[in-house]
């Protein structure tokens, strides 16, 4: 991608190679630290447990608001790669309201 950006650049002599190469080096080294060391893996494990804990609080709040309807949420048929856009959320709400 870097070569494509350089090829389509109108000012190839003004291309900031030094900045780009430093950015790539920093990105590569951070990737090695976070993905290749036990410290990075424990960081992401901690982050995962935090998000999982937050999700359990969200589920408890939704169960408080919607009650037994939360048991039927798993029955809503969504494709595995479905994105939760506004129309998708409206469709889910319509399905839930139809079951009331």
Tell me the pLDDT tens digit for each residue of 38-86: 888 898 899 999 998 998 898 888 888 877 777 666 555 656 566 667 7
Q: Which residue, among 89, 63, 85, has the nearest Cα to 76 in the 3D structure?
A: 89
Q: Where are the domains of the chain?
A: 16-66, 68-100
Maximal CA-CA distance, the chain:
67
User: Percent of the chain scored above 70 by pLDDT?
Assistant: 84
Cα 78 to its chain centre, rounded Å, is 18
pTM: 0.48
């Amino acid at each position: 991608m870097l070569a494509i950006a350089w090829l389509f650049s109108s000012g190839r002599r003004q291309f900031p190679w030094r900045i780009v190469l430093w950015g790539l080096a920093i990105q590569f080294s951070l990737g090695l630290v976070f993905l290749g060391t036990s410290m990075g893996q424990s960081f992401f494990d901690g982050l995962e447990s935090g998000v999982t804990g937050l999700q359990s609080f969200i589920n408890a709040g939704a169960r408080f608001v919607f009650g037994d309807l939360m048991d039927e949420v798993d029955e809503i048929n969504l494709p595995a790669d479905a994105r939760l856009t506004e129309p998708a959320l409206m469709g889910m709400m319509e399905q839930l309201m139809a079951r009331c």
